[in-house]
Amino acid sequence: MTDKLQYDAMFSGVIGQDYELLNLICPLATEMSRLVGIAASEYAAQTTDKLSVVELGGGTGITTLSLLTASDKFNILSIDNEPVMQNQAEKHLHKWSAEGRLAFCGDDALTALKNISDDSVNIVASAYTLHNFLNSYRQEVIEEIFRILKPGGQFINGDRYGLDDISEHTHIIQNEVGGYFKVLTKINKLDVLEHWIVHLFSDESENHVMRETVALNQLSAIGFSDITLTHRLEVNALVTAMKPAL
Protein backbone atom coordinates (compact mmCIF):
# COMPACT_ATOMS: atom_id res chain seq x y z
CA MET A 1 0.00 0.00 0.00
CA THR A 2 1.38 3.45 -0.85
CA ASP A 3 1.52 6.27 1.72
CA LYS A 4 -1.34 8.13 0.02
CA LEU A 5 -3.54 5.00 0.07
CA GLN A 6 -2.80 4.49 3.76
CA TYR A 7 -3.55 8.15 4.44
CA ASP A 8 -6.86 7.96 2.54
CA ALA A 9 -7.84 4.74 4.32
CA MET A 10 -7.14 6.25 7.73
CA PHE A 11 -9.07 9.43 6.92
CA SER A 12 -12.03 7.53 5.47
CA GLY A 13 -12.06 5.48 8.67
CA VAL A 14 -12.30 8.54 10.92
CA ILE A 15 -14.11 11.12 8.78
CA GLY A 16 -16.17 8.67 6.69
CA GLN A 17 -18.17 9.61 3.58
CA ASP A 18 -17.40 13.34 3.84
CA TYR A 19 -13.73 12.56 3.21
CA GLU A 20 -14.42 10.07 0.45
CA LEU A 21 -16.75 12.45 -1.42
CA LEU A 22 -14.38 15.43 -1.13
CA ASN A 23 -11.49 13.26 -2.24
CA LEU A 24 -13.51 12.19 -5.26
CA ILE A 25 -14.74 15.67 -6.26
CA CYS A 26 -11.64 17.67 -5.40
CA PRO A 27 -8.62 15.54 -4.45
CA LEU A 28 -6.45 18.66 -4.36
CA ALA A 29 -8.51 20.02 -1.46
CA THR A 30 -7.76 16.95 0.68
CA GLU A 31 -4.15 17.14 -0.49
CA MET A 32 -3.91 20.68 0.91
CA SER A 33 -4.92 19.37 4.35
CA ARG A 34 -2.26 16.67 4.10
CA LEU A 35 0.37 19.28 3.22
CA VAL A 36 -0.69 21.51 6.12
CA GLY A 37 -0.13 18.54 8.45
CA ILE A 38 3.32 17.88 6.98
CA ALA A 39 4.35 21.54 7.35
CA ALA A 40 3.10 21.58 10.95
CA SER A 41 5.02 18.38 11.75
CA GLU A 42 8.21 19.98 10.41
CA TYR A 43 7.68 22.94 12.72
CA ALA A 44 7.04 20.58 15.65
CA ALA A 45 10.23 18.62 14.96
CA GLN A 46 12.26 21.68 16.02
CA THR A 47 11.16 21.51 19.66
CA THR A 48 10.29 19.13 22.48
CA ASP A 49 7.71 21.56 23.93
CA LYS A 50 3.94 21.28 23.70
CA LEU A 51 2.63 23.59 20.99
CA SER A 52 -0.60 25.55 20.80
CA VAL A 53 -2.30 25.47 17.42
CA VAL A 54 -5.27 27.53 16.25
CA GLU A 55 -7.07 26.12 13.23
CA LEU A 56 -9.35 28.32 11.11
CA GLY A 57 -12.27 26.65 9.33
CA GLY A 58 -12.03 23.12 10.69
CA GLY A 59 -15.06 21.95 8.69
CA THR A 60 -15.82 18.27 9.13
CA GLY A 61 -12.37 17.72 10.66
CA ILE A 62 -10.17 16.71 7.73
CA THR A 63 -7.45 19.34 8.33
CA THR A 64 -7.86 18.97 12.08
CA LEU A 65 -7.15 15.23 11.82
CA SER A 66 -4.14 15.93 9.64
CA LEU A 67 -2.80 18.24 12.38
CA LEU A 68 -3.65 15.84 15.22
CA THR A 69 -1.79 13.02 13.52
CA ALA A 70 1.13 15.29 12.53
CA SER A 71 2.43 15.64 16.09
CA ASP A 72 1.31 14.64 19.56
CA LYS A 73 2.75 17.94 20.83
CA PHE A 74 -0.23 19.87 19.47
CA ASN A 75 -3.09 21.28 21.51
CA ILE A 76 -5.58 22.50 18.95
CA LEU A 77 -8.38 25.05 19.06
CA SER A 78 -10.49 24.45 15.95
CA ILE A 79 -12.65 27.39 14.88
CA ASP A 80 -15.61 27.14 12.51
CA ASN A 81 -18.79 29.20 12.51
CA GLU A 82 -20.90 26.61 10.66
CA PRO A 83 -22.43 24.31 13.31
CA VAL A 84 -23.45 21.62 10.78
CA MET A 85 -19.79 21.22 9.81
CA GLN A 86 -18.35 21.57 13.30
CA ASN A 87 -20.82 19.10 14.81
CA GLN A 88 -19.50 16.47 12.40
CA ALA A 89 -15.91 17.27 13.36
CA GLU A 90 -16.82 16.96 17.04
CA LYS A 91 -18.31 13.54 16.35
CA HIS A 92 -15.43 12.32 14.17
CA LEU A 93 -12.68 13.59 16.48
CA HIS A 94 -14.25 12.82 19.85
CA LYS A 95 -11.27 10.65 20.87
CA TRP A 96 -8.89 13.63 20.69
CA SER A 97 -11.21 16.07 22.45
CA ALA A 98 -11.73 13.49 25.24
CA GLU A 99 -7.94 13.34 25.62
CA GLY A 100 -7.89 17.14 26.03
CA ARG A 101 -5.87 17.75 22.86
CA LEU A 102 -8.68 19.37 20.89
CA ALA A 103 -11.24 22.07 21.66
CA PHE A 104 -13.80 23.71 19.40
CA CYS A 105 -14.98 27.30 19.02
CA GLY A 106 -18.11 28.16 17.02
CA ASP A 107 -17.37 31.86 16.50
CA ASP A 108 -16.42 33.29 13.15
CA ALA A 109 -12.67 33.41 12.58
CA LEU A 110 -12.21 37.13 13.18
CA THR A 111 -14.25 37.20 16.39
CA ALA A 112 -12.45 34.11 17.71
CA LEU A 113 -9.01 35.50 16.89
CA LYS A 114 -9.84 38.82 18.58
CA ASN A 115 -10.48 36.87 21.80
CA ILE A 116 -6.98 35.31 21.79
CA SER A 117 -4.08 37.05 23.57
CA ASP A 118 -1.11 38.64 21.83
CA ASP A 119 1.96 36.42 21.23
CA SER A 120 0.28 33.29 22.61
CA VAL A 121 0.05 30.72 19.80
CA ASN A 122 2.77 28.65 18.07
CA ILE A 123 0.95 27.79 14.85
CA VAL A 124 -2.11 29.13 13.05
CA ALA A 125 -3.08 26.54 10.45
CA SER A 126 -5.85 26.42 7.90
CA ALA A 127 -6.89 24.66 4.73
CA TYR A 128 -9.40 25.69 2.12
CA THR A 129 -10.96 28.39 4.30
CA LEU A 130 -9.34 31.81 3.79
CA HIS A 131 -10.28 31.86 0.09
CA ASN A 132 -13.93 31.98 1.22
CA PHE A 133 -13.39 35.30 2.99
CA LEU A 134 -14.09 38.73 1.54
CA ASN A 135 -10.77 40.49 0.88
CA SER A 136 -11.41 43.12 3.58
CA TYR A 137 -12.30 40.46 6.20
CA ARG A 138 -9.25 38.39 5.21
CA GLN A 139 -6.98 41.41 5.71
CA GLU A 140 -8.25 41.77 9.29
CA VAL A 141 -7.95 38.01 9.91
CA ILE A 142 -4.32 37.97 8.77
CA GLU A 143 -3.51 40.98 10.98
CA GLU A 144 -5.03 39.09 13.92
CA ILE A 145 -3.10 35.91 13.06
CA PHE A 146 0.12 37.94 13.19
CA ARG A 147 -0.87 39.48 16.52
CA ILE A 148 -1.66 36.19 18.29
CA LEU A 149 1.38 34.27 17.02
CA LYS A 150 4.36 34.04 19.33
CA PRO A 151 7.56 35.47 17.88
CA GLY A 152 8.95 32.54 15.89
CA GLY A 153 5.42 31.17 15.36
CA GLN A 154 4.21 30.06 11.96
CA PHE A 155 1.16 30.60 9.77
CA ILE A 156 0.44 27.61 7.50
CA ASN A 157 -2.28 27.75 4.88
CA GLY A 158 -3.13 25.24 2.15
CA ASP A 159 -5.63 26.99 -0.05
CA ARG A 160 -6.72 28.36 -3.40
CA TYR A 161 -4.10 30.91 -4.39
CA GLY A 162 -5.05 32.33 -7.78
CA LEU A 163 -2.39 32.45 -10.46
CA ASP A 164 -1.04 35.88 -11.36
CA ASP A 165 -1.48 34.91 -15.01
CA ILE A 166 -5.25 35.37 -15.28
CA SER A 167 -5.58 33.60 -18.65
CA GLU A 168 -3.78 30.54 -17.29
CA HIS A 169 -5.90 30.72 -14.14
CA THR A 170 -9.13 30.80 -16.19
CA HIS A 171 -7.96 27.84 -18.25
CA ILE A 172 -7.35 25.80 -15.06
CA ILE A 173 -10.76 26.77 -13.65
CA GLN A 174 -12.43 25.68 -16.90
CA ASN A 175 -10.77 22.26 -16.54
CA GLU A 176 -11.82 22.19 -12.88
CA VAL A 177 -15.48 22.76 -13.85
CA GLY A 178 -15.21 20.01 -16.46
CA GLY A 179 -13.90 17.66 -13.76
CA TYR A 180 -16.84 18.42 -11.44
CA PHE A 181 -19.32 17.59 -14.22
CA LYS A 182 -17.50 14.37 -15.09
CA VAL A 183 -17.30 13.06 -11.52
CA LEU A 184 -20.66 14.21 -10.20
CA THR A 185 -22.83 13.27 -13.18
CA LYS A 186 -21.25 9.80 -13.10
CA ILE A 187 -22.43 9.25 -9.51
CA ASN A 188 -25.66 11.16 -10.17
CA LYS A 189 -25.08 13.85 -7.54
CA LEU A 190 -26.55 16.78 -9.45
CA ASP A 191 -27.45 18.66 -6.24
CA VAL A 192 -23.78 18.56 -5.17
CA LEU A 193 -22.74 19.64 -8.67
CA GLU A 194 -25.04 22.66 -8.51
CA HIS A 195 -23.67 23.56 -5.07
CA TRP A 196 -20.03 23.37 -6.25
CA ILE A 197 -20.63 25.46 -9.37
CA VAL A 198 -22.56 28.11 -7.44
CA HIS A 199 -19.80 28.21 -4.80
CA LEU A 200 -17.12 28.50 -7.49
CA PHE A 201 -18.66 31.80 -8.65
CA SER A 202 -18.08 33.17 -5.15
CA ASP A 203 -14.51 31.81 -5.03
CA GLU A 204 -13.70 33.39 -8.38
CA SER A 205 -15.30 36.78 -7.69
CA GLU A 206 -12.94 39.76 -7.55
CA ASN A 207 -13.71 40.52 -3.90
CA HIS A 208 -12.74 36.99 -2.81
CA VAL A 209 -9.99 35.67 -5.02
CA MET A 210 -6.54 35.40 -3.31
CA ARG A 211 -4.17 36.19 -6.16
CA GLU A 212 -0.67 34.80 -5.45
CA THR A 213 1.48 37.94 -5.50
CA VAL A 214 -1.13 40.11 -3.80
CA ALA A 215 -1.53 37.50 -1.04
CA LEU A 216 2.21 37.16 -0.43
CA ASN A 217 2.70 40.95 -0.43
CA GLN A 218 -0.14 41.25 2.06
CA LEU A 219 1.68 38.89 4.47
CA SER A 220 4.92 40.80 4.04
CA ALA A 221 3.24 44.19 4.61
CA ILE A 222 1.75 42.89 7.88
CA GLY A 223 5.22 41.91 9.11
CA PHE A 224 5.61 38.20 8.30
CA SER A 225 9.02 36.91 7.22
CA ASP A 226 10.24 33.69 5.55
CA ILE A 227 7.16 33.68 3.32
CA THR A 228 7.02 30.69 1.00
CA LEU A 229 4.53 29.43 -1.57
CA THR A 230 5.19 25.80 -2.48
CA HIS A 231 3.37 22.74 -3.83
CA ARG A 232 1.43 24.67 -6.47
CA LEU A 233 -1.18 22.23 -7.73
CA GLU A 234 -3.41 23.97 -10.28
CA VAL A 235 -5.05 26.88 -8.41
CA ASN A 236 -4.00 25.49 -5.02
CA ALA A 237 -0.79 26.01 -3.08
CA LEU A 238 0.76 25.79 0.37
CA VAL A 239 1.77 29.10 1.95
CA THR A 240 3.88 29.39 5.09
CA ALA A 241 5.03 32.54 6.88
CA MET A 242 6.82 33.23 10.17
CA LYS A 243 6.31 35.91 12.76
CA PRO A 244 9.90 37.09 13.20
CA ALA A 245 11.59 35.89 16.39
CA LEU A 246 12.56 38.66 18.83
Ligand X SMILES: C[S@@+](CC[C@H](N)C(=O)[O-])C[C@H]1O[C@@H](n2cnc3c(N)ncnc32)[C@H](O)[C@@H]1O
Q: Which residues, 6+ apart, have CB-to-CB distance to 11 below 8 Å?
A: 19, 23, 30, 62, 65
Task: HSE, CB side, 13 Å, CA atoms: give it for residue 58.
Answer: 35
Nearer to ligand X by Cβ, of 81 and 139: the residue is 81
Task: Determine the distance from the C-alpha atom of residue 34 to the mean position of all C-alpha atoms in its chain, rounded to a whole number.
Answer: 10
Determine if 20 is a binding residue for ligand X (CB under 6 A).
Answer: no
Determine if 37 is a binding residue for ligand X (CB under 6 A).
Answer: no
Nearer to ligand X by Cβ, of 198 and 246: the residue is 198
> What is the x/- site pattern for ligand X, positions 125-164, by CB under 6 A?
--xxx--x--------------------------------
Q: Which of 57, 88, 173, 242 binds ligand X (CB under 6 A)?
A: 57
Q: Which of 62, 93, 142, 184 binds ligand X (CB under 6 A)?
A: 62
Nearer to ligand X by Cβ, of 130 and 163: the residue is 130
Nearer to ligand X by Cβ, of 67 and 149: the residue is 67
Burial letters 196-226, b for 16+ CB under 10 A, else e? beeeeeebbeeebbbbbeebbebbeebebee
Q: Which residues, 6+ apart, have CB-to-CB distance to 175 below 8 Å?
A: 234
Q: Nearest to residue 93, comparing CAs of 74, 121, 116, 115?
A: 74
Chain positions 100 to 129 lying near ligand X, rule: CB under 6 A, are 108-109, 127-129
> What is the x/- site pattern for ligand X, positions 182-211, by CB under 6 A?
------------------------------
Q: Which of 23, 63, 157, 218 binds ligand X (CB under 6 A)?
A: 63
Determine if 71 is a binding residue for ligand X (CB under 6 A).
Answer: no
Q: Which stretch binds ligand X (CB under 6 A): 67-75, 76-84, 145-153, 202-210?
A: 76-84
- Using Cβ positions, the residue closest to ligand X within the complex turns out to be 59
**How long, in residues, is the chain?**
246
Q: Which residues, 6+ apart, have CB-to-CB distance to 182 below 8 Å?
A: none
Residue numbers of the site for ligand X (CB under 6 A)? 29, 33, 57-59, 62-63, 79-82, 85, 108-109, 127-129, 132
